[in-house]
Amino acid sequence: MVLDGARTIGGTKIFLREGRAGFLLDFGLNYQRWGRYFEEFLRPRAARGLFDLWQLGLVPSFSGLYREDLVPLDLRAPGEAPPLEVHALFLSHAHLDHCGLVGVLRCDLPLVASGLTLAILKALQDTGQAEFYGELAYCRLRSPNAAGELEADPSGASLGRPAHTADREPPPALQRLWTTLPKQRKALEPAPISAPRPEYAGVRVRAYPVDHSIPGALAFAFECADGFVVYTGDFRRHGAGAGLLDAMVADLQRERVAVLVVEGTRLTREVQQNVTESQVCANARAVVASSAGKLVVADFGPRHVERLQTFLQVAAETSRQLVVLPKDGYLLEALTAAEPTFSTTLQHPNLAFFTRPRLARDLWLREFTNRHRARFVDAAEVRRDPGRYLLAFSFFDLVDLLDVEPEDGVYVYSSSEAYGEDNRVDFWRLWNWLRRLRMEPHGFRWEGADERGRPVFEGGLHASGHVHPGDLLEFIRAVRPHHLVPVHTENPAWFVENLRGEPVQVQPLEDGGTLTLSAN
């Protein structure tokens, strides 16, 4: 059953039942639906817990899924909704459109993901704003006060979520990360990470590493009575891990794939250039090398560690320091706990951390600063020698450039294109900032004289995290599924049109739609 994300890019929530076993495959935040009701300064009320999300249809209306401590007394009890028995949540990767609502799920529901994904979930919660629906790795338990408002335990006591690594034995450093809370010294029942299992609730499961724009992405294959049910999550074939897909295909070709649940993010793009990460590196290097003496700002997506590594290489080759925010450094520490090879990036001599004005510092930030104090730089240092630095700032960090006071700086946009009206408005704001700061843009420009214009993206400075349509078609034909269910797409008709005549039954579903196989 596709609970959400059948015809939208993001918000993926899938339920798989095999016999008596029930599994969730991702539980993401649907940005399109979320944006109908909420924005930066209009958010769900923490004191009302699940109430706002339930009333607005932003979480599936089933019982058996949600934290009891988030159910206010006046909510139509989830127990009155149809039951959905779930034994584990399989997370493909740590982008919020796939994991952003995990915080509302039962605290005892096991998470199954790669060690890298678990490390990212922990880092996101440790360094985030602690919205209740973003409690990805541990739950701050709540209880109603005299007014019926849901309050978190003032001691900071938390309940760790049980988890399994799907790919390898969890190393001790990852165990320490998962069971230690930097924001609150007191932990309530921390739950260590368990080793991978060949089966869950009696169903054998295989995990396949796939290439995506975030470390640790996995696809899953569930061995069911009718054959394998395969969920790709988000994947591609043009990044550094392109060969991973070939290994997955070779394994699945030896099996009967009954159902393939597959993403189709890029099926509505006007431009279908398949820019690779190596091309991004070459193009970015050319821009930075031609900007000697000038400050360069690189804007790329949060948790896009491969892109961070690309710009770190560019910084080293152009004799600059790549300056990232402390939360990016904390993420690298978390990744190193799961996979020690990331220490090469964390300890790179061309990597530094930016210190910004703060009235208060969270405990995680104080501790991170103490560990790396000699590697911090501030706005005054960047202002004195702008040609020495490459700042990794996003749109939301632009205000800190007012302290830097760049003169004839360069702004390299190396992130995804705009989707929807809200994103278009953000790019109009970005354009105004760049004009105000007199920064030369690369990778993005505004076409039009005012806010009624549109953003244009060019220059080969971004490689998509999603599979190209040509590679997608080749993948489907190689796997030879009997049924195909499109998700994470606005164009499910593409599958019908392009697979006409193939021995595969395309099953486009609406949210809430179900595909039932004979043995079930």
Report the pLDDT value the prediction gives residue 494, as an integer from 0 to 100. Answer: 94
Is the domain of 298 the same as that of 261? no
Domain presence at residue 516: no
Domain presence at residue 336: yes
Choosing from 432, 457, 482, the residue where a domain stops is 457
| Structure confidence at residue 129 as a pLDDT band (50, 70, 90) | confident
Domain that holds residue 419: 277-457
Choosing from 400, 435, 457, the residue where a domain stops is 457
d(CA 210, CA 93): 10
| Structure confidence at residue 517 as a pLDDT band (50, 70, 90) | confident
* pLDDT, tens only, 21-38: 999 999 999 988 998 999
- Provide the CATH number for the domain around residue 308: 3.40.50.10710
Is the domain of 23 the same as that of 68? yes
d(CA 306, CA 259): 31
Domain presence at residue 362: yes
Indicate if the alpha-carbon torsion angle 231, 235, 237, 241 is positive or negative. Answer: negative
Domain presence at residue 512: no
Task: Identify which of 103, 107, 47 has the alpha carbon closest to the alpha carbon of residue 72.
Answer: 47
d(CA 301, CA 93): 15
Q: Pull the structure tokens for residue 358.
A: 């703060």
Is the domain of 252 the same as that of 329? no
Please state the separation of Cα 173 from the chain's center in Å.
22
Is the domain of 285 the same as that of 255? no
Give the pTM: 0.94
Is the domain of 334 the same as that of 198? no
Is the domain of 66 the same as that of 177? yes
Average predicted confidence (pLDDT) for the chain? 91
Report the pLDDT value the prediction gives residue 419, as an integer from 0 to 100. Answer: 59
Is the domain of 187 the same as that of 69? yes
Domain presence at residue 515: no
Domain presence at residue 475: yes
pLDDT at 309 > cutoff 70: yes
Is the domain of 36 the same as that of 141? yes
pLDDT at 191 > cutoff 90: no
d(CA 434, CA 130): 31
Is the domain of 233 the same as that of 306? no
Domain presence at residue 61: yes
Is the domain of 415 the same as that of 479? no
What is the domain count for the chain? 2
- Provide the CATH number for the domain around residue 477: 3.60.15.10
Domain presence at residue 365: yes
Q: Which residues of 246-267 are buried (b: 16+ CB within 10 A; e: fewer)?
A: eebbeebeeeebbbbbbbbbbb
Choosing from 425, 440, 457, the residue where a domain stops is 457
Is the domain of 118 the same as that of 265? yes
Is the domain of 259 the same as that of 282? no
